[in-house]
Amino acid sequence: MSASETNGMEKSAALYGMLAEFRNPKELIDAAMLVNKSGYTKYDTFSPFPVHGMDKAMSLKKSKLGWIVLLHGFIGFTGAITMMYFMAVADYPLNISGKPFLNGPAWVPITFELTVLLSAFGAVFGMFFLNGLPKLNNPLFSVERFKKATDDGFFVCIEADDTQFETEKVRKLFEEAGATHIEEVYD
């Protein structure tokens, strides 16, 4: 690797990334596009609510959550049927109202409920998993201004360990994008 990069590495040893604030969703999207075009990968945008079109702007890939949910739903479904078969047919069959041990119709509700339950677990915990949450500490929290991200602030952050990261270049990029504030974030 080249010297300049190694220097850059050293310089930004404590540096987490560069944070820029924008006025509104429109500017945020434009900024995101710009950053995205400029070929940065380790960056993120922050807004108090999901901004529509941001996925395109950042060209985010389709979420894998669907598959996780499907898997869990399948576990719930088969699990329910297996459980009921074991309990009512295999392990301790009882003559109840003269009905057959394997009483299909009666098993529908519980099968359904357990499928839904497991799918829901999949959806929620899968989402947290994909988002790497819970993550109670985050270098961005050290930035006082970043508190606005959950109120009315719109931020872009390019992380220092992005291969193209260079403090000045990034700062210029942000200025072009019309950021109102730009500051370095250390962890």
d(CA 186, CA 77): 48
3-state SS record for 51-82: CCCHHHHCCCCCCCHHHHHHHHHHHHHHHHHH
Whichever of 152 and 175 has its CB closer to another protein, that residue is: 152
d(CA 93, CA 120): 32
Q: Which of residues 19-48 bind another protein (CB under 8 A)?
A: 23-27, 29-30, 32, 44-48
Whichever of 66 and 176 has its CB closer to another protein, that residue is: 66
Using CB under 8 A, which of 1, 3, 10, 135 touches another protein?
Answer: 135
Using CB under 8 A, which of 2, 4, 39, 49 touches another protein?
Answer: 49
Whichever of 156 and 170 has its CB closer to another protein, that residue is: 156
Which segment (2-10, 12-20, 84-92, 179-187) binds another protein by CB under 8 A?
A: 84-92
* Cα pseudo-dihedral 5, 7, 12, 13, rounded to 10: 110
Here's the x/- map for another protein, 142-161, by CB under 8 A: it reads as -----xxxxxx---------
Whichever of 25 and 165 has its CB closer to another protein, that residue is: 25
Per CB under 8 A, does 69 bind another protein?
yes
Whichever of 152 and 176 has its CB closer to another protein, that residue is: 152
Using CB under 8 A, which of 37, 106, 161, 164 touches another protein?
Answer: 106
d(CA 45, CA 24): 12
In sequence order, the β-bridge partners of residue 35 are: none
Per CB under 8 A, does 67 bind another protein?
no
Amino acid symbol at 185: V
Per CB under 8 A, does 50 bind another protein?
yes
Whichever of 39 and 105 has its CB closer to another protein, that residue is: 105
| Tokens coding 115 | 């499928």
Contacts of range 123-128, beta carbons closer than 8 Å, 24 or more positions apart: 123/65, 123/68, 123/69, 123/72, 126/65, 126/68, 126/69, 126/72, 127/65
